[in-house]
Structure 1
Amino acid sequence: MNFGLERIQSLLEALGRPDERTQIVHVAGTNGKGSVCAYISSVLRTCGYTVGRFNSPHLLEPRDSINVNGQAISQQMYDEAFSHVALLNKTGAIGASSFECLVGAAFYVFDKARLDFVVLEVGLGGLLDATNAIRHPVMTVITAIGMDHAHILGHTIEEIATAKAGIMKSGCPVVIAPQDSETVLKTLVEHAKTTDSPYQLVQPAQFITPGLCKLEFDQLKYTYGIRLCGDYQRMNSATAVTALDWLCRLGLIQMTPEQLAAGMKDTRWPGRLEWITSKENPLIMEKYGLDKILVDGAHNAPATMALRKYIDSLKKEKVIWIIAATAGKDIHDMMDGLIEPNDIVFAVNFTQPAGMPWIQSTEPSEIAKANKSKTVACLGLEEALEKAASACGNEDIVVLCGSLYLVADLYRILPQKN
């Protein structure tokens, strides 16, 4: 990968700087970026604003990355945008990468839609990521940071935090999520001070009951329900609420506590601690004999720790795992964090994601070698689902995880919820 902002800057200039005709909330971090973007977008739409959202990587197909008012853009719009950007790239001899063209295409779409806000997720890192070509965001947000993509971003947590902090802009408010590492928090705060960025540290929300949160700011108290599972949603949801409350205090949006609660409750983010049940998707029972399956895209150490913590909170005998992983990930660390001696693992490949030739799936045999418990290398996901059903007792749970690309494969063979 050839990082740098020169090409994407040239591309945005050729497009007429569409990024400067909307209000952008820019979000970086290791984990939680997607759900924070989803929360913020949902609440803004509930408040009556038109909203574009950019997330990467895509889930099912490349156009999924570009979302307008809660819906992925059509294939026709995606093709139009990409063709226009590709022509500018060629005639201007810019040499933009496929991801840079995707970012350009997103801003082309957002500009045509004349949106009030764009919620923009960083692709990788922050400082040199193509999304960081924007010059005037109205707010930046840094979610939880952990060790991931170390071969690109740096081999220490401080280096990774510094790369993520690179989206901060002078005078632009930055919301900093709770961090597991004091070193990370110190690095982020120091960077905010150095760049003269007003900052606010997020306090985790409290669970009143499972799925019902409370967060207070001075004299204002927000109470809101969330669909998304996991204790870390106390942090993710609070990060989004803190950002929204600050946007409101700055006079950039008008929002009531009731609108915030409605938007938070309405937020969905597929593939993150998501239960797929036979009641909603009968095919998993009819074809595979499974009553339910827990789906999570956990693919790095902090995410796998959060997944294991959630699983440990459930009543079960053992866990039946269906796991795939992107080549280059530390499979041993993943297995050590997830698998208990009594568990069973079915290892699979995932389908090569469209437009991302640099992504490769780890061979199931390699996953099997990394695991001390019983592991079976399967020829494909459907075989793994069948074997998982056969191995699953009444008190067991089935968990599919390790990569969002594997999650996407599951969604392709199951009917999707509205």
Structure 2
Amino acid sequence: MSIKLGLSRISQLLKISNVNTNKLKVIHVGGTNGKGSTCSYLTTMLIQAIKNYNSKNNMRDNNNGKIGKFTSPHLIHPSDCISINNKTIPMSHYQTYYKECATLNTNYGIKASNFEILTCIALKYFQDNKVDYCVIEVGVGGATDATNVIESKLCCIITKLSLDHQKLLGNTLVDIAKEKSGIIKKGVKHVIIDGTNDKEILQVFIDKCGKVGSSWELTDISKTIQFQEFTNRVLGYQRYNLLNALYAMRYLSSIDHANLLISDDDIFKCINETKWYGRLQKLSLKYDHKSNPIDVLIDGAHNKDGAKQLGEYLTQHVRPTLDSNKNGLIFVIAMTVGKDVDGLLRGLSISCNDKVIVTQFNAVQDMPWITSMDPDTLAQHILKKGFTNQVIVEPDLTQIFKNSVFSDGQISIKNNYDTHTNIVICGSLYLAGQILEQHLKNTR
């Protein structure tokens, strides 16, 4: 089984499920890197704006003000992808919706994929709960992704593009941009495009906006003075994802000013409250019930550009804090079969002083086409290419942090920015998710 693109199956499933996407106010977020983080920042700001409206109008009813969010892939369970006001759909509700959609899928012979069923669940859940706005992340690509079944959208956001899923989307960034620009269609009022993309990429989206009659704007962190006080509060690549959300919030407020009330203080509060697990996430990891937690940085970087952004963050904010007597960073890495190994390793800027523990993630629920790269093969590649000769293979996720390398390797340093650790878990969102799942089990 593999990823199934196309809109016919999801269209049929939504129709027989009595879901009318035209009733939803949708912000559709596409791109490659930063989609989930952008969704999270924007969702938190929309929730705060609706709260402000309710407070101003003395509305105490909890049913007033709902923001739906649909992101993917899941980290621990597919239900993680669906939330209202940042509260994940209750498992009992998810199971009820899943049973209904899966039964219809079987009875009508639609042959929808797991992701198409998940998309149907999300949109039906949002419709049933009469959400005010929906922030929807594209799954894969754009034009033929299940989420693009939505015709009427308030706006689209295009984040940073990178080479990923080339077998499905094309071998060049321009090819990928053309596929991803498919979410911009008649009915899309406005498009926000991450200005850090290459000029030829930007032109693809600008041309598409002109073709369908959508207004557009490019984000620019150096020229948007009114936003710099906010982006300066965030480190690394998340600054650009926050900027995407700020542009979107400004646009949405301009077309619905009466209902979307948000102050500068509110935005600072939202920045502090926004959580996006598996992206520059600092965690005191509880890797078993008996041992003390160990400080780690978890990032789902899994392609060349994502790794480059993580590598820049480590170079600017983590490596300078390392004790010269320590042996550099300790990377825990697993990768999906088919990913660009050299691109990821070069992006991370792994040095000869760094240690790399190579592992593998387990089978991913509802995604049988995802396979972890053999750790011995990955380790041999790292050694052959000369990134570092300090490579350890540990296929068992539960045993990684019991390795002696951590007995004197862990550090935790506070500087003017934050607390840093020299242990970095990266290479795959599926690895990040399974590490987080392990942590949650051991903290109960």
* Aligned partner (choices 211, 219, 231) of residue 194 of structure 1: 211
Letter in 1 for 2:273: D
Deviation, structure 1 residue 95 = 1.8
2:278 is matched with 271
> What is the alpha-carbon distance in structure 1 between the residues aligned to residue 27 and residue 340 of structure 2?
32
Distance 1:96 1:379 in 2: 34
Q: Which residue in 2 is equivalent to 1:358?
A: 369
Q: What does residue 57 of structure 2 align with?
A: none
Contact kept in structure 2, 1:205 and 1:238, CA below 8 Å: no
Q: 1:370 aligns with which of 381, 390, 406?
A: 381
Match of 1:30 in 2: 32
1:246-293 CA distances to partner (integer Å, 9 max, x unpaired)? 01111264222233333233111011111113xxx5x36985566411
Once the two structures are TM-superposed, the CA of residue 163 in structure 1 deviates from its matched residue by 1.0
Letter paired with 2:308: M
Match of 1:254 in 2: 260
Q: TM-score, normalised by structure 1?
A: 0.90
Alignment of 1:223-242 (within 5 A): 223-224=229-230, 230-242=235-247
Q: Are 2:81 and 1:76 equivalent residues in the alignment?
A: no
Match 1:20 to one of 19, 22, 25: 22
**Counterpart selection for 1:65 from 48, 65, 81:** 81
| 1:411 is aligned to 2:440 | no
Which is bigger in relative contact order (C-alpha 8 A, separation at least 6)?
2
- Asked if 1:98 is matched to 2:104, the reply is no
Counterpart residue type for residue 296 of structure 1? D
Q: Describe the SS at the equivalent of 1:173.
A: strand
CA RMSD across the alignment:
2.3
Counterparts of 2:288 and 2:79 in 1: how far apart (Å)? 30
What CA distance in whole angstroms lies between the structure 1 residues aligned with 2:361 and 2:183? 32
Which residue of 12, 24, 39 corresponds with 2:41? 39
Q: What letter matches 1:193 in structure 2?
A: G
Equivalent residue for 1:399? 424
Residue 360 of structure 2 is matched in structure 1 by 349
Contact 1:297-1:407 within 8 A present in 2 as well: yes
Question: For 1:330 and 1:29, how far apart are their aligned partners in 2?
Answer: 18
Q: Is the 8 A contact 1:285 1:291 kept in 2?
A: no
Counterpart Cα distance in 1 of 2:437 and 2:19: 36
Kindly provide the amino acid, as one letter, of the partner of residue 261 in structure 1: F
User: What is the CA-CA distance between 1:73 and the residue it aligns to?
Assistant: 0.9
Asked whether 1:386 is paired with 2:391, we answer: no
**Rounded Cα–Cα distance in structure 1 between residues aligned with 2:172 and 2:245:** 27
Larger CA deviation: 246-255 vs 60-69: 246-255
Spell out the pairing of 1:310-325 with structure 2 (5 A cutoff). 310-313=313-316, 314=318, 315-316=321-322, 317=326, 318-325=328-335
Task: Check whether the contact 1:55–1:122 (CA below 8 A) recurs between aligned residues.
Answer: yes
CA distance in 2, matches of 1:113, 1:126: 26
State the alpha-carbon separation in 2 of the partners of residues 40 and 333 from structure 1.
Answer: 30
Question: Given residue 29 of structure 2, which amino acid in structure 1 is its aligned partner?
Answer: V
Question: Is the contact between residue 231 and residue 239 of structure 2 (CA under 8 Å) also seen in structure 1?
Answer: no
- Return 5+ residue gaps in structure 1 as ranges: 207-214
- Which one of the candidate residues 48, 51, 61 is aligned to 2:67? 51
Query: Structure 1 CA distance, aligned partners of 2:38 and 2:309?
Result: 16
**Superposition TM-score, scaled by structure 2 size:** 0.85
One-letter amino acid of the structure 2 residue matched with residue 320 of structure 1: I
Q: Which residue of 2 aligns with 1:172?
A: 189
- 1:8 shift after superposition: 0.8
- CA-to-aligned-CA distance 1:16-60 (integer Å, 9 cap, x gap): 233222211100010010010001111111112311110111011
Distance 1:410 1:288, change over 3 A: farther
Q: Residues of 2 paired with 1:179 and 1:195: CA distance?
A: 23
Letter of the 1:412 counterpart: E
Q: Which moved more, 1:71-80 or 1:178-187?
A: 178-187
Q: Is the 8 A contact 2:142 2:148 kept in 1?
A: yes
Equivalent residue, structure 2, for 1:144: 160
Which string of whole-angstrom CA distances, capped at 9 and with x for unpartnered residues, describes residues 281-315 of structure 1?
5x369855664111111000111001111111222
Q: Which runs of 5+ in 2 are unaligned?
A: 51-64, 413-420
Counterpart selection for 1:182 from 196, 199, 203: 199
TM-aligned CA deviation for residue 349 of structure 1: 0.9
C-alpha displacement of 1:381: 1.9
* 2:308 corresponds to which of 305, 308, 331: 305
Counterpart amino acid of residue 312 in structure 2: K
Residue pair 2:302, 2:428 contacting (<8 A) in 1 also = yes
CA distance in 1, matches of 2:175, 2:133: 31
Provide the aligned length of Structure 1 versus Structure 2.
Answer: 402
Cα pair 2:294 2:410 within 8 Å, conserved = no
Q: Kindly state the Cα deviation for residue 376 of structure 1 after the two structures are TM-superposed.
A: 1.3
Q: Does 1:9 align with 2:11?
A: yes
Secondary structure of the structure 1 residue equivalent to 2:26: strand
